[in-house]
């Protein structure tokens, strides 16, 4: 949990935050304070935090953990539709990866297979170079190199 924080302790010191947690956004630290920087939005049994700061996949995952949540895991078309309306026009990390079994994506937090998917035609296509799951601006899914920094969505029940 403190993994990213310790790595970035130097950056944290140089940045005035009211509280202690800081994460790196495109080379710049920002304050997350363990709280959703926007607000939790409710849909059914889940709550979602749409974070308009860019992080790589691992850092985004850690950031969600700080918020006592995890990266988005879409389980149905209804959920996809609800999310898509709110994410339109940007790129967002979700909690899927195939880093442990190339070609077979699973949800990292739940350790479950992707029952519902919404891949763009031709995706996933990146082989071992693209192991993290992105939602594109139009809502379709893409496998993407995990080091890219994009927005991300945390969810909790």
Contact residues: Ca ion, CB under 5 A: 98, 123, 125-126, 130-131, 142-143
Least Å distance, CB 2 to Ca ion, is 28
How many angstroms separate the CA atoms of 5 and 21, rounded? 7
Using an 8 Å Cβ cutoff, are 153 and 71 in contact? yes
Cα 139 versus chain centre, distance: 14
Nearer to Ca ion, 79 or 130 (CB): 130
Nearer to Ca ion, 109 or 148 (CB): 148
Least Å distance, CB 155 to Ca ion, is 23
Number of residues assigned to the chain: 157
Nearer to Ca ion, 25 or 142 (CB): 142
Cα dihedral across residues 112, 118, 121, 125: positive or negative: negative
Check residue 120 and report its DSSP letter: P
Least Å distance, CB 9 to Ca ion, is 32
Nearer to Ca ion, 23 or 132 (CB): 132
Cα distance from N-terminal residue to C-terminal residue, the chain: 19
Q: Coil, strand or helix: which one is 113?
A: strand
Cα 29 versus chain centre, distance: 17
Least Å distance, CB 131 to Ca ion, is 4
């Amino acid at each position: 949990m403190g993994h990213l924080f310790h790595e970035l302790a130097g950056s944290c010191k140089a940045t005035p935050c009211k509280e202690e947690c800081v994460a790196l956004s495109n080379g710049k630290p920002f304050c997350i304070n363990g709280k959703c920087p926007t607000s939790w939005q409710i849909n059914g049994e889940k709550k979602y935090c749409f974070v308009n700061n860019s992080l790589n996949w691992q850092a985004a995952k850690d950031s969600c953990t700080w918020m006592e949540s995890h990266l988005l895991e879409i389980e149905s078309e209804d959920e996809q539709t609800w999310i898509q309306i709110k994410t339109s026009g940007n790129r967002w990390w979700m909690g899927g990866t195939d880093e442990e079994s190339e070609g077979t994506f699973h949800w990292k937090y739940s350790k479950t297979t992707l029952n519902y998917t919404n891949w763009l035609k031709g995706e996933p296509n990146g082989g071992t170079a693209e192991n993290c799951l992105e939602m594109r601006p139009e809502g379709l899914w893409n496998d993407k190199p995990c080091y890219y920094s994009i927005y991300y969505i945390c969810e909790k029940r």
